[in-house]
Amino acid sequence: VKTDNSHQLTPSKFSGIFLLKNGDQRNFASRRTRSDCCFDLLKLVFDMDKLNKSSLEKKKKKKKSSRRRKKGEKHADHAETVGMVIAFVILGVYFFGLDQNIRALPDVKTSIGRRMGHSIVLSKHGLLGEDSVGNAMPSNNDEPKESKKQDNNVFKAAKRGKQLTKVTVPAAKWPISIRDEVDNYEEIGHPADSTIKMTAPKFWSDPIHENQLMSREQAMEIGSCAVPDESGNYNRGDSCPPDERTIYVAIASYRDWQCRYTVESIFSRAKNPKRVRIGVVDQIIDGDDHCDVPIDPCDKDPYQALCNYKDQVDVYQMEAPLAVGPVFARHFGHRLYRGEYYAMQSDAHVTFTQNWDEDIIMQQESTKDEMAVLSTYLTDVVDSIDEKTGKSLRFTRPIMCQTDYEQGQQGKYLRHGSQPEGIPLIHGSPQLQPYWAAGFSFSRGHFVVNVPYDLYQPMIFQGEEMSIGIRGFTIGYDYFAPERSVCFHTYALGPNAAKRGQVKHFWENGARYKGVGIRAMKRVLGIVGMNPEVPVSEWDHTEEDRYGTGKVRDVTKFYETFGIDVVNKKTEHHLCSFVSQGQLHRDFMPLLRKDGMGVDYSKVTYKFKDPKK
């Protein structure tokens, strides 16, 4: 299909979801599939038949000769026969694959929500398959249906605490796109409504940690290089030059007009944009701005990133009524990962600094920790970037150390508060911190493989960060505050209050999925051992092998070290006095394993206590 600017589009339509080759200027909301066209043509045939019969009925009411009436009835029988023949021809075209002419029909604008609940997958190479499913709109009364557990030996021993079977990591490739994967999709159930089925890209790889501390050799199996070695191998491990190491950026966007500006910023300010690939989960309705559409038409401004690097953007487009929070959206973002050397996660309304890719990689490597994850709550963009040069105007950065229990509808849970920002007291390296933040995360690619977002946490907002953070901790990952900020967040404050205040949130779907958040929170807390008062039989254990904790460190080690009492639901306050001043970093980083595979917490005896008690 071609648009006015003659860019090739390759559509893939999922259950309420659209996957498109990106960067193309479009003037339509969604695509007509082959089934749409056939059913519409059938409807046209039968409508014409009805019209013909209606016309003849009117003629019968007139007093005509018997001869003319018989002739009219004969014509009616003939028209009905012709109509049925045409109908069978159309069905033959549809069912026997003679669809070239149908595919050539022009695009017709149609409401995105029109075919919600219908699953069809098209690819760059043509039709893959089609499955029609039940109700289009979800029911509030349905319990989330347990999906069929994957029959994979990799996970069979996990709950028994045994060593997992070794995973074969796919070969690295570059460039790469899910648009080239004609058979790498699977059907999954919607976590808030079992009547809805969705087609999704398969995970690039199962977790590789084998329920134990990874070796450095295992870790190096993941990570593509933009330039192959002499043998044509794109997986070159740490021999790949830093400026050729690929970066995957995951963005989850909910009806956010600013998403495409974020994508533009990522590419336009990267030192080497050719090694960057973006995966966007775009949750929208008809009329919303698409994250992959250039800000201006490419024929007017062909130098835009979304014109020049459109092939390096994969979009999983979801109808907004299916959205049930950031965890669900970011789950698809992790499914879009395809073996890049680094993995970054960003909000959809972020502005990047000049040469951000070179800077953040330099910071990452300076930790000497293969398990390092750089993560933080981002500073407001106002007065933070020189718009002409793209350079940061800040000498401070936030650090993650402030959390406390909060009472919610789902009970008490930990929630990160506002984080202190100051001039770093550790120089030459990011600074060790206890917590992970969803708004910005940068790590080696294996973090996404080993700690995938949980599919079964619908309508969860608070709790997401503690879940990922603690799961990652138990698998062996360490969290750091970047020494320098490479991007800044657009908050609904000050000069941006009006524009950002107009952006919708997934909570507008709350009534449709009433009650699922309470059940999901039991799972969130149960997996990381944060609700010991709740019997384990009362929360959902679906695919806990994949979305659960690891065996490198125990969850109790995390709670004891950082002063969290999961029984009495309270924390030791003033942890920031230990973290932000650099004491945590100075005390724990000497325990970094010699091979760089994370801090050895088996040697940590420290238990934080409030110094002001």
Q: What is the largest CA-CA distance in the chain?
A: 108
pLDDT tens digits along 411-447: 788 999 899 999 999 999 999 999 999 999 999 999 9
For position 53, what pLDDT does the model report? Answer: 55
Please say if the pLDDT value at position 374 is more than 60: yes
Give the range among 397-411, 459-473, 557-571 with minimum mean pLDDT: 397-411
For position 611, what pLDDT does the model report? Answer: 96
Please say if the pLDDT value at position 29 is more than 80: no
For position 54, what pLDDT does the model report? Answer: 57
For position 82, what pLDDT does the model report? Answer: 60
Q: How far is Cα of residue 191 from the mean position of the Cα atoms in its chain?
A: 15
Q: CA 450, CA 435: separation in Å to the nearest integer?
A: 17
Q: DSSP class of residue 162? A: P
* Residue 365, strand partner residues: none
Give the range among 60-69, 131-140, 535-544 with minimum mean pLDDT: 131-140
For position 43, what pLDDT does the model report? Answer: 56
Coil, strand, or helix at residue 245? strand
Q: CA 397, CA 316: separation in Å to the nearest integer?
A: 32
Please say if the pLDDT value at position 72 is more than 90: no
Coil, strand, or helix at residue 577? helix
Q: DSSP class of residue 340? A: B
Domain ranges of the chain: 12-30+112-134+162-509, 34-103
Give the range among 118-127, 170-179, 343-352, 601-610 with minimum mean pLDDT: 118-127
Token pair belonging to 305 = 């990133």
CATH number, span 12-30+112-134+162-509: 3.90.550.10
Please say if the pLDDT value at position 1 is more than 70: no
Share of the chain above pLDDT 90, in %: 67
- pLDDT confidence bin for 362, thresholds 50/70/90: very high
For position 44, what pLDDT does the model report? Answer: 52
Please say if the pLDDT value at position 457 is more than 60: yes
Please say if the pLDDT value at position 119 is more than 60: no
Share of the chain above pLDDT 70, in %: 73
For position 28, what pLDDT does the model report? Answer: 29
For position 80, what pLDDT does the model report? Answer: 62
Give the range among 39-43, 80-84, 130-134, 449-453 with minimum mean pLDDT: 130-134
pLDDT tens digits along 224-242: 999 999 999 999 999 999 9
pLDDT tens digits along 285-337: 999 999 999 999 999 999 999 999 999 999 999 999 999 999 999 999 999 99
User: What are the C-alpha distances in Å from 529 to residues 191, 249, 381, 549, 566?
Assistant: 22, 30, 37, 10, 8
For position 325, what pLDDT does the model report? Answer: 94
Specify the pairing of strand 478-481 against strand 372-375: parallel
Per the listing, tokens 């508060």 go with 417
pLDDT tens digits along 509-532: 888 999 899 999 999 999 999 999
Token pair belonging to 218 = 């295992």
Q: CA 55, CA 49: separation in Å to the nearest integer?
A: 10
Q: What share of the chain is helix, strand, coil (3-state, %, to 5)?
A: 30, 20, 50
